Amino acid sequence: MQTIISPSILAADFTNLISDISEIEDVKDLWLHLDVMDGHFVPNLTFGIPVIKQIKKITNIPLDVHLMVTNPEFHFEALKDSEIENITYHFEINCDHHAMIKKYRNNYKSIGLSVKPSTDLESIPLDLLKEIDLLLVMSVEPGFGGQSFMPNALDKIDYLNKLKKENNLKLQIQVDGGINQDTAKLCLDKGAHNLVAGSYIFGKAKDQYKTQIETLR
Ligand code: DX5
Ligand code: ZN
């Protein structure tokens, strides 16, 4: 499986998203990472459903929605016909995860669960890991771009890969936060499949976006 890179538009130019997104439109094995923050689950506030629907109209890049919200079900419901490639929400919120995933199983190609740096993977029941398509390991505290990579994410990737082998789990491992050329290599060496990067890509000049993406692989 080719490594997927998922550039986060959190670091892009919100006053000219078309221009930033079209710069990477034809890159292969690419997702577009959309960080939805509600000001409750995380202190920061970004954008929501109307903006995601507008973005869907201006690009063919598969959309990767990362919900940092206390009420993900509202977003799952509202986006269920929007042909989202992957939608991820946080394990830490108070919800019946089995019921939630079962309810939307047929509306989404891929459903992910995410864990904050302080959440132990051991606290996720194995039968839940069997139901999801992606596990997003946060390598920074969710809420802000431009933070430094927290190395405990590497142990989590390691642990997940062992669990995958032992239990024949199909989920892909995504890492998000502080990804650059060096931390990307550490994650890939441990067996990550999918890397989210904001500042490392959109923090550079437009003509460098593609090279930045390739150096991460
Ligand atoms: C943080 C977001 C990340 C963020 C990553 O809460 O989930 O996706 O955009 O930004 P960088 O790559 O700058 O750490
Ligand atoms: Zn994210």
Domain locations along the chain: 4-216
CA dist 61 and 90 (Å) reads: 23
48 Rama sector, left if φ>0, alpha if ψ -120 to 50, beta otherwise: beta
- pLDDT score of 1: 73
Atom of ligand 1 nearest to the CA of 201: 12
Pocket of ligand 1 contains residue 196 by CB under 6 Å: yes
Over residues 104-127, the pLDDT tens digits come to: 999 999 999 999 999 999 999 999
Report in angstroms the alpha-carbon separations of 140 from 44, 122, 130, 148: 14, 19, 25, 7
pLDDT in tens, 6-54: 999 999 999 999 999 999 999 999 999 999 999 999 999 999 999 999 9
Measured distance CA(204)–CA(215) in Å, rounded: 13
Q: Does ligand 1 have an atom closer than 6 angstroms to the CB of 24?
A: no
Q: How far apart are CA 33 and CA 47, in angstroms?
A: 12
Q: In sequence order, what are the beta bridge partners of 88?
A: 66, 112
Ligand 1 close to Cβ of residue 140 (< 6 A): yes
pLDDT digits (tens, 9 = 90+) for 40-53: 999 999 999 999 99
Distance, in Å, from the CA atom of 70 to the CA atom of 47, rounded to the nearest integer, reads 14
d(CA 24, CA 201): 10
177 Cβ below 6 A of ligand 1: yes
Whether residue 176 lies in the annotated active site: yes
80 CA to centre of ligand 2 in angstroms: 20
Does the structural domain 4-216 have CATH classification 3.20.20.70? Answer: yes
Q: Does the active-site annotation cover 133?
A: no
11 in helix, strand or coil?
helix
Decide: 61 and 31 in contact? Cβ < 8 Å. Answer: yes
Cα–Cα distance for residue pair 109/86, rounded to 1 Å: 6
Identify the residue whose C-alpha is closest to ligand 1 atom 4.
145
Give the pTM. Answer: 0.98
